[in-house]
């Protein structure tokens, strides 16, 4: 089966974020060879007859016990004209294997938030959590390796019978317990120029370079992500780049994008850690610049 892979992304409007304000960014070990974890889902699902149940497996890859992962959050858009949300399965084996010293699990699911890019679609937003024991203590091992986090289930409506529905993972987050990772610096540029609110110029078909400057002022080596959200009246796009940044070092992270249609674009740069993002934390930086794209 083909799988859709998506690294954890720093999107806002997190439904359950207030539950975890005691935790901070999880840094990777001090080696650039350690991969970032990914979340996966099928690229698409084929719906059966009206009244049948269809399942979507959500999996995690590249987890390591030493990361002390304690939860996952994600959203999956679904066509509400085709599907009715049904009860999810219990947490998958990779979660249950980490519940070994008095911990417990909790699953929170919300299905009533409209998905604005697609009229008639809604979001299934899920948090799968490992809770500490009665004394507030977690015990090793933590989730390790690859495995299913949870399986979402839906009932097929008459209008959805025998249809094929694409699957997308958004608003993804991994929760972990390690502290003391912090970023600094900004200097967001579009095509080499700064200036908030200015109309940066480009043309259809011309490559545009977005870049931000970043420094690791924390106490651990980390992965860093620069994401550039590109919004116009016609579409929403996003490009991102991940790098490994040791303590005390600075660099410029860049990405390129080419406009296919003319118009006014708002380019928002988001600088953050790929793991565990809280928009209000000082380790996340955002800034928006305007790009005016003219026809050829």
128-173 residue pLDDT tens:
999 999 998 888 889 999 999 999 999 999 999 999 999 999 888 7
Looking at the predicted structure, is the pLDDT value of residue 293 above 70? yes
Average pLDDT score over the chain: 79
Instruction: Tell the residue number behind the tokens 């390796």, with chain if given.
Output: 145
Q: How much of the chain, in percent, has pLDDT values that exceed 90? A: 35
- CA dist 56 and 42 (Å) reads 7
| Of 123 and 100, the one with more pLDDT | 123
pTM assigned to the model: 0.63
- CA dist 202 and 294 (Å) reads 6
Confidence of residue 182 (pLDDT cuts 50, 70, 90): low
Q: Compute CA 135 distance to the chain's CA centroid, rounded to the nearest angstrom.
A: 31
| Of 226 and 7, the one with more pLDDT | 226
- CA dist 291 and 267 (Å) reads 7
Instruction: Give the model's pLDDT for residue 271.
Output: 75
Q: For residue 212, give every residue at least 6 positions away whose Cβ sits within 8 Å of its Cβ, in sequence order, or none.
A: 185, 186, 187, 188, 189, 226, 252, 253, 254, 269, 271, 285
3-61 residue pLDDT tens:
443 333 333 333 343 333 333 333 333 444 456 778 899 999 999 999 999 999 999 99
The answer to which of 77-86, 135-144, 203-212, 274-283 has the lowest mean pLDDT is 274-283
Q: Alpha helix locations (H) across the chain?
A: 93-96
Instruction: Give the model's pLDDT for residue 7.
Output: 38
The answer to which of 94-103, 108-117, 171-180 has the lowest mean pLDDT is 171-180
Average pLDDT over residues 83-111: 91
- CA dist 139 and 76 (Å) reads 30
- CA dist 267 and 190 (Å) reads 8
Instruction: Give the model's pLDDT for residue 65.
Output: 81
Reading the block at residue 287, the tokens are 């800034």
190-201 residue pLDDT tens:
888 877 656 688
What is the three-class DSSP state of 160?
helix
What is the three-class DSSP state of 10?
coil
Instruction: Give the model's pLDDT for residue 33.
Output: 46
Instruction: Give the model's pLDDT for residue 47.
Output: 96
Strand partners, 152: 56
Q: What domains are there in the chain, each with its CATH number?
A: 3-176 (2.60.40), 183-294 (2.60.40.10)
Instruction: Give the model's pLDDT for residue 279.
Output: 37
DSSP, res 12: S
Average pLDDT over residues 215-243: 80
Q: For residue 136, give every residue at least 6 positions away whose Cβ sits within 8 Å of its Cβ, in sequence order, or none.
A: none
Instruction: Give the model's pLDDT for residue 197.
Output: 55
Find, among 71, 5, 67, 65, the residue nearest to 223 by Cα: 67
On the question of a cis peptide bond just before residue 269, with omega within 30 degrees of 0, the verdict is: no
Q: How much of the chain, in percent, has pLDDT values that exceed 70? A: 77
| Of 270 and 120, the one with more pLDDT | 120
């Amino acid at each position: 089966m083909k799988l859709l892979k998506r690294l954890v992304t720093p999107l806002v409007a997190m439904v359950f974020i207030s539950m975890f304000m005691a935790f901070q960014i999880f840094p990777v070990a001090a080696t650039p060879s350690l991969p970032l974890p990914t979340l996966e889902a099928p690229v698409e699902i084929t719906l059966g007859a009206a009244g049948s149940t269809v399942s979507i497996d959500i999996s995690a890859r590249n987890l390591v016990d030493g990361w002390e992962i304690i939860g996952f959050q994600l959203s999956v858009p679904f066509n509400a004209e085709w599907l009715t949300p049904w009860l999810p399965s219990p947490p998958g084996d990779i979660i249950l294997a980490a519940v070994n010293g008095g911990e417990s699990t909790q699953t929170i699911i919300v299905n009533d938030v409209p998905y604005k890019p697609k009229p008639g679609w809604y979001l299934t937003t899920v948090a799968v959590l490992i809770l500490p024991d009665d004394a507030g203590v977690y015990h090793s091992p933590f989730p390790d390796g690859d495995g299913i986090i949870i399986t979402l289930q839906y009932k097929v409506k008459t209008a959805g019978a025998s249809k094929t529905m694409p699957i997308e993972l958004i608003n993804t987050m991994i929760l972990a317990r390690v502290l003391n990772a912090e970023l600094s610096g900004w200097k967001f540029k579009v095509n080499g120029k700064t200036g908030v609110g200015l109309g940066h110029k480009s043309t259809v078909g011309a490559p545009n370079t977005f870049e931000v400057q970043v420094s690791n002022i924390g106490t651990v080596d980390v992965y860093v992500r620069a994401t550039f959200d590109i919004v116009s009246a016609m579409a929403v796009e996003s490009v991102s780049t991940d790098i490994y940044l040791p303590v005390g070092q600075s660099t410029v992270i860049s990405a390129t994008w080419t406009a296919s249609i003319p118009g006014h674009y708002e380019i928002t740069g988001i600088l953050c850690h790929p793991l565990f993002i809280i928009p209000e934390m000082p380790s996340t930086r955002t800034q928006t610049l305007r790009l005016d794209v003219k026809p050829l």
